[in-house]
Amino acid sequence: MNSHWQAIIEGMLDAVWLVSPIDFKIIIANRAAADLLGVTPDWFINKPVVALAATPEDMFFWEDVANGLSHQINSESLIRHHDGHLLNVERRVSLAKTAQAHFYIVAIRDMTQQRHTELELERLIAELRATLESSADGLLVTDLHHGIRAYNQTFAKLWEMPEHLLTERDDYAVFSWIDQAVLHRNQQTTDEISAHPLLVNTTSTLTLRSGRIFECITLPQYARGQAIGKVYTYRDISTQVANEARLKLASKVFEASLNAIFITDSDHQVIAANPSCEKLTGYTQLELLSLKLCSIFTFSCDSEQLAQVMEEVATQGYWEAEMWNQNKHGDMYLVLASIVRIEDSLHNSYHHLCFLKDLTETHIAKQRIEELAYHDTLTGLPNRLHLDQKLEHSINLAKRNHTSFAVLFLDLDHFKKINDSLGHQYGDQVLVEVAQRLRDNIREIDIASRLGGDEFVLMLEQTDARGVEISAQRILDALSMPFTINNINFTVTCSIGIALYPEDGLTFDDLIKNADSAMYHAKERGRSGFRFYQPQMNMSLLSRMKLDHAMRLALEQQQFKLYYQPQVDLKTGAIVGAEALIRWHDEALGNVSPAHFIPVAEETGVIIPIGNWVLKTAIEQASQWKSKNIIIAINVSALQFQQSNFVEIVSAALQAAELSPAFVELELTESILINDAEDALQKLQALATLGVKLSIDDFGTGYSSLNYLKRFPLNKLKIDRSFVQEAPDNDSDVAICSAIINLSHALNLKVIAEGVETEEQKAFLIDAGCDEMQGYLFSPAIPADEFEKLL
């Protein structure tokens, strides 16, 4: 099929890939795709499509496709050439379905040169617009004929332009609006202005009907040495003009103000102070008049600092800051201090008006509120809210300084067992001890926080992959040291997922999500370790979620089918049984192998309803074949077997189908018997009493125990195909098969071998004394109607 599609896509001018909808790997690509990236067509084969993603947005794009949000998407993206440079491309993704297979067709067109030209033009326009908008003054630009060429947003806000004037091009209406708003215009007129109106700078003061006062500066605009128009600069100077009036008003409230106010002269000597200033500082009015500014600003003022403050006052007109002061009696208090410069009418002498607002009680209350709001009450570690703010700050700092940092998502292994066995109070003590060990094993610049439960997040500043690997191992070693709580000694381990900024995320949510995903994979790989985030993790998680959803729909829509593989008596050659095997064809995913979807079903728990459906369906089919005198073998998963009412489910299915239990054999894995041996023994004895036959599937591949073979009411052992495949040529496999056969017979158990594909294997099994076989040598698993014909 691949050669057929290869021939088709080679005829296309655009780069084309074909992508599997199950694992999102590239199946084939044409020569145009290879030329686009500077590689050979074979380079694409089996490469995960996310490996070609050049941006986080592109990763999200493929996650959307994996989620099935659309089967036909046109988009623009970036793709990386083999030499490292990025290409702008236009991409189209569509789902193709044939009778043989389903796949995504990805067509890509190089748009790099076109985008470069567009971006250059956009950059020039943006620079011109940014220059205009960066001014704090209102700017108006006109041509030689007084037509408006441009104005900035500040101009529109200053003149309070109505919406219709901003959206419609009407120069006359704009100037009319300005003229109507102006009450009085004060402008010096000279002969030079009259003679050369376009060439002379002018300054005027405009008094508006609203009471505001504007300063207007008019400048000529030149291009290539020729006058092309004028630039008008408008600035609101109402505050400056009103300063004197405010001083007069301030004198009226001076004495009554609850805030401390004092005035200094040009030498910073206190010349006046209000009663609140006396109360706050502890000095009398007479004592205050003998002090200078730095005598009141005790902890934040020396000659150098005072010079800096006054420079800011001189340039901005005011200064403001929070500071800690000490009053006359030595007590500390926190104030919001501000200084305003006041000039006289001649602008040649000035005073400073100083305000002190007492924030001490507010500060104490705020500290308590922040402690409760930003810290975990149990461990005292920063909580998620605090971590959010800290992480945003670190992102901005790292972005500005082009540095990196790491986020570690830490989850204690099997912590639930501690709570369940010893109680939550004991578990809380463990969490407090864990939090202390985390504090002791990170630097001062790092942060350890608790998200909740047994989940912690560490943020390691200014580090790289090597540094974070060392830190993660140090934390694992620290937590693996024995705990002693209430005279009980035990060990706690953890699993850690690591995300690096900026490689693994540019936002708080992305970093936490990806670190969590990496931690999840660390647990999958055995716990008590750490793992770095990889982009494929999200795709893997999405694939599992998509597969889980598809399985649930398949169960509702009856898409699952049962096939039956014959089990043959090696002595007589007669069919004595059949193993029921599930098969699934999905409209979007095509034929999905049980080896692919069964592990996901076991992980998500959907294996229970699927297993119950298999049990019910197989028993119904066995009832139809009971006259054939064959036994139907049904696989049982660990989760399915652990159901408290499993025996009742089997009994109810047999009664509903009116089938004797003797025609049903349940195949169990060794793990079912070992995990909870006593519970398993009770269920197996109940099943044996019911009359159902019991066998061990894939014997020898797990933790085989002769003890459970002796105790449990079993009927048969199945030799795993891995021991049969290389027999009789492999001496080790021959020895293992022979041992299993002899052991089974010694325990009065039958033995069946699966995966028999050759006459040589069959002959060996007969010589070794094996009772039954199943495999491709006789027949693969086939639908029920074909199995009836085979019978």
pLDDT tens readout for residues 581-595: 999 998 888 899 998
Q: pTM score > 0.85 for this model?
A: no
Task: Taking residues 763-769, report their average pLDDT.
Answer: 94
- Give residue 46's region: left, alpha or beta (phi > 0; psi -120 to 50): left
Q: Where in the chain is the domain with CATH 3.30.450.20?
A: 2-116, 135-236, 259-361
Q: Tell which wins on pLDDT, 354 or 418.
A: 354
CA-to-CA distance for 24 and 95, rounded, in angstroms? 12
- Phi/psi at 496 (nearest 5 deg)? -125, 130
Task: Taking residues 172-183, report their average pLDDT.
Answer: 88
Indicate the pLDDT class of residue 69, thresholds 50, 70 and 90. low
- Give residue 694's region: left, alpha or beta (phi > 0; psi -120 to 50): beta
Which of 65-74, 368-377, 480-489, 505-514 shows the lowest per-residue confidence on average (mean pLDDT)? 65-74
Q: Which residues contact 523 (CB under 8 A, 6 or more apart)?
A: 411, 413, 495
Task: Taking residues 472-500, report their average pLDDT.
Answer: 87
pLDDT over threshold 60, residue 509: yes
Closest CA to 435 of 487, 490, 378: 378
CATH 1.20.1740.10, domain 135-236, yes or no: no
Residues in the chain: 791
- Angstrom CA distances, 120 to 125, 343, 479, stand at 9, 50, 55
Task: Taking residues 468-477, report their average pLDDT.
Answer: 91
CATH number of 375-533: 3.30.70.270
Which of 61-65, 108-112, 385-389, 754-758 shows the lowest per-residue confidence on average (mean pLDDT)? 61-65
Which of 256-265, 428-437, 537-546 shows the lowest per-residue confidence on average (mean pLDDT)? 537-546
Indicate the pLDDT class of residue 785, thresholds 50, 70 and 90. very high
3-state helix, strand, coil in the chain (%, to 5): 45, 30, 25
Indicate the pLDDT class of residue 441, thresholds 50, 70 and 90. very high
Q: Where in the chain is the domain with CATH 3.20.20.450?
A: 547-790
CATH 3.20.20.450, domain 547-790, yes or no: yes
Closest CA to 494 of 546, 573, 438: 438
Q: Tell which wins on pLDDT, 485 or 435.
A: 435
Contact 686, 658 (CB under 8 A): no
Q: How many CB atoms lie within 10 A of CB 299?
A: 9
Task: Taking residues 566-581, report their average pLDDT.
Answer: 94
**DSSP secondary-structure letter at 50?**
G
Identity of the highest mean pLDDT range in 154-158, 373-377, 763-767? 763-767
| Residue % of the chain over a pLDDT of 90 | 28
pLDDT over threshold 50, residue 451: yes
What does the pLDDT read at residue 128? 66
CATH 3.30.450.20, domain 259-361, yes or no: yes
pLDDT over threshold 70, residue 705: no
- The enclosing H or E element of 332 equals strand 332-343
Strands 631-635 and 664-668: parallel
CA-to-CA distance for 779 and 707, rounded, in angstroms? 35
pLDDT over threshold 70, residue 418: yes
CATH number of 2-116: 3.30.450.20
Task: Taking residues 232-242, report their average pLDDT.
Answer: 85
Q: Where in the chain is the domain with CATH 3.30.70.270?
A: 375-533
CA 6 vs. chain centroid, Å, equals 37
